[in-house]
Amino acid sequence: MPAAKKLKGTIRKAVRKAKARKRHSAEEREKILAEARAAKLTGKQVAEKYGISTLTYYLWRKKAGSIRPKAPSKNGTLSSAAESKLRTAVRAKVTGLLPKILDEEVDRILGR
């Protein structure tokens, strides 16, 4: 077998013709998302119909806040929105109680 030819100081790059990028206005994005939601299209179907990538579709959907809420899992865990709400409530309660608890502990340790 012949040895592979090495090029000194250069990097071989595969040249491919990239698809021309198109910027969609906010109105166009909203229209595409609304039509996809109404027709209950998958990411792949939206990509084929509108000529965008599936990643672009899901990013638009995420930014628009139209991610469908997850159903509760079988093991009883909360959805991410419910978990976030609960964490916020617990954090607020702990933040309110913490100074009192710290004062009591400091007094107990110092014997005041």
Over 50: is that where the pLDDT of 14 sits?
Answer: no
Q: How many domains does the chain have?
A: 2
Q: Are residues 63 and 81 in the same domain?
A: no
Using one digit for the tens of pLDDT, what is the confidence trace for 100-109?
Answer: 999 999 999 9
9 in any annotated domain: no
Q: Are residues 26 and 46 in the same domain?
A: yes
Q: Which of 34, 49, 68 is the last residue of a domain?
A: 68
User: Residue 35: how many CB atoms within 10 A of its CB?
Assistant: 13
Banded model confidence at residue 15, pLDDT cuts 50, 70, 90: very low
Over 70: is that where the pLDDT of 10 sits?
Answer: no
6 in any annotated domain: no
Range of the domain at 104: 77-112
Per-residue confidence (pLDDT) for residue 24, from 0 to 100: 87
Higher pLDDT, 48 or 83: 48
8 in any annotated domain: no
pTM for the whole thing?
0.43
Higher pLDDT, 19 or 61: 61
Q: Are residues 31 and 63 in the same domain?
A: yes
Per-residue confidence (pLDDT) for residue 22, from 0 to 100: 78
88 in any annotated domain: yes
Q: Are residues 82 and 51 in the same domain?
A: no
51 in any annotated domain: yes
- Core vs surface per residue 36-72: b (16+ CB within 10 A) or e: beeeebebeebbeebebeeebbeebbeeeeeeeeeee
